[in-house]
């Protein structure tokens, strides 16, 4: 009831304005020590994956806290870990507004943010000043104006820069809003050279520093079954540690066609993505087995969707759009569902 009333007020604001207002309010409530009273965190239910111990299997997906400004208050909601970003090499404003649209009738969002980012230096400085007391994934990606020939070098430089702060690093090759990634996203250009170089750098830094930072790849739900299977085999061959399935979709389900906003450009997330992301999870789980940790994201708007993903083979789940529509209580609900469907 509390969040329902708060959501009605927030939804009176434009989407980006309500996003900032919600995070600012969350930070204020955290400073006053109020979050635990309203949104008790779930009990620990540890999950081992990628050589890391996650206190519980429910994480925050990248995109909500792009610049790692709200790590402490978000962690206080009971997430087992957080993923920040997408972080780019250089600061960039992203696309012009409006670039974020609500579809409240179906609990969805369409975004064409364009990876707005303060840049990797600012993010790393912020994390160094206040090291997070939570497992932290850092999602890295290319600047909009990056030349195709910079694909590998820019990703390597980003991985090196975030290595100290990150518990793991996600390579965001599936963003539908970054033009230079379109050929990688569609599978017309092989990911293999990029992933081989990144895995090599992971091992070099491990030897040098003693800290092994797992590499995760975020895939598009728009890949067909054959492309998903090929991707799985490539990820295993390269030695990738984890896969997030999925990013947003560029497709529009038939049931959205009566909504004028559904035709806006950008990636669709939320409940309309649920079935597509589940299908992709099932395909990848069958191909990957236990070799690579599978992280389910996209369309997890209730406990049932999370349980379906875990039963399909995911080890961990991430929330974003569902959190906006259902509120922070969704963290504990999903954690309870995960515990109910996990052996032991």
How wide is the angle at C-alpha 324 spanned by C-alphas 318 and 328, nearest 5°? 70
Q: What's the distance, CA 18 to chain centroid?
A: 20
Under DSSP, the state recorded for 130 is S
Q: Is-catalytic flag, 175?
A: yes
Coil, strand, or helix at residue 265? coil
Under DSSP, the state recorded for 33 is T
Contact between 18 and 10 (Cβ < 8 Å):
yes
Contact between 318 and 64 (Cβ < 8 Å):
no
Query: How many other C-beta atoms lie within 10 A of the C-beta of residue 188?
Result: 8
Query: Considering only CA atoms, which of 66, 92, 62 is closest in space to residue 174?
Result: 62
Taking CA atoms, 334 is separated from 158, 312, 318, in Å, by 32, 15, 10
Query: Catalytic residue among 18, 117, 175, 269, which?
Result: 175
Residues annotated as part of the active site = 175
């Amino acid at each position: 009831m509390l969040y329902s009333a708060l959501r009605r007020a927030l939804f009176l604001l434009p989407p980006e304005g309500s996003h900032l207002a919600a995070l600012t309010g969350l930070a204020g409530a955290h400073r006053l020590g109020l979050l635990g009273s309203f949104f008790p965190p779930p009990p620990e239910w540890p999950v081992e994956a990628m050589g890391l111990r996650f206190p519980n299997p429910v994480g925050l997906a990248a995109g909500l806290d792009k610049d790692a400004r709200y790590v402490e208050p978000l962690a206080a909601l009971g997430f087992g870990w957080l993923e920040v970003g997408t972080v780019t090499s250089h600061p960039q404003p992203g696309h012009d507004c409006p670039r974020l649209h609500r579809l409240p009738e179906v609990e969805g969002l369409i975004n064409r943010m364009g990876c707005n980012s303060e840049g990797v230096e600012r993010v790393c400085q912020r994390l160094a000043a206040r090291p997070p007391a939570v497992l932290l994934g850092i999602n890295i990606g290319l600047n909009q104006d990056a030349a195709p020939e910079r694909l590998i070098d820019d990703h390597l430089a980003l991985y090196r820069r975030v290595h100290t702060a990150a518990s793991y690093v996600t390579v965001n090759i599936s963003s539908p809003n970054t033009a230079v990634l379109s050929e990688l996203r569609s599978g017309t250009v092989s990911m293999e050279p990029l992933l081989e170089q990144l895995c090599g750098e992971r091992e070099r830094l491990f030897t040098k520093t003693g800290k092994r930072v797992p590499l995760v790849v975020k895939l598009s739900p728009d890949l067909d079954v054959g492309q998903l299977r090929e991707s799985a085999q490539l990820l295993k061959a390269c030695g990738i540690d984890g896969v997030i399935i999925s990013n947003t979709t560029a497709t529009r389900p038939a049931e959205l066609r009566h909504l004028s906003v559904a035709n806006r450009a950008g990636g669709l997330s939320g409940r309309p993505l649920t079935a597509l992301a589940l299908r992709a999870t099932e395909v990848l789980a069958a191909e990957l087995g236990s070799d690579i940790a599978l992280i389910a994201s996209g369309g997890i708007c209730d406990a049932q969707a999370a349980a379906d993903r875990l039963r399909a083979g995911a080890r961990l789940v991430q929330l974003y759009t569902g959190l906006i529509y259902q509120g922070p209580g969704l963290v504990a609900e999903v954690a309870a569902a995960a515990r109910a469907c996990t052996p032991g």
